[in-house]
Amino acid sequence: MTPIGPTDWRITTGRNGVSLYPSIGNWSFPCRSHYWIRHGQILWAEQMTQAQIDAGRRYNRAAKQRHYGELPPTPKPGFWARLWQILTGR
């Protein structure tokens, strides 16, 4: 799963195909594959060390904290949930 969002991955489309930024690393799998998707092509990267992986994870955690504050925002209830709250006084 590759989450798309303000602190995760961004996807762009163009005449030459889809691109995804930043790279994708499968650090939990034995293969530890690491690659980019650029203009519909897979560009393989060299394998990263455990120290590089750990640094990337720390950077990602800090980016989420900067963007969302300490906790991610609570999603707003949908229309029906808000209406139910109004009707029931909850």
What's the pLDDT tens digit per position in 41-65?
Answer: 999 998 888 898 899 888 888 888 8
Compute the average pLDDT of residues 28-33. Answer: 85
Amino acid at 51: A
- 23 contacts 35 by C-beta, under 8 angstroms: yes
- Please state the pTM of the whole predicted model: 0.61
Per-residue model confidence (pLDDT) at position 37 = 93
The H-or-E segment that residue 61 falls in is: helix 50-68
Q: How far apart are CA 8 and CA 36, in angstroms?
A: 14
Per-residue model confidence (pLDDT) at position 74 = 65
pLDDT class of 71 with cuts at 50, 70, 90 = low
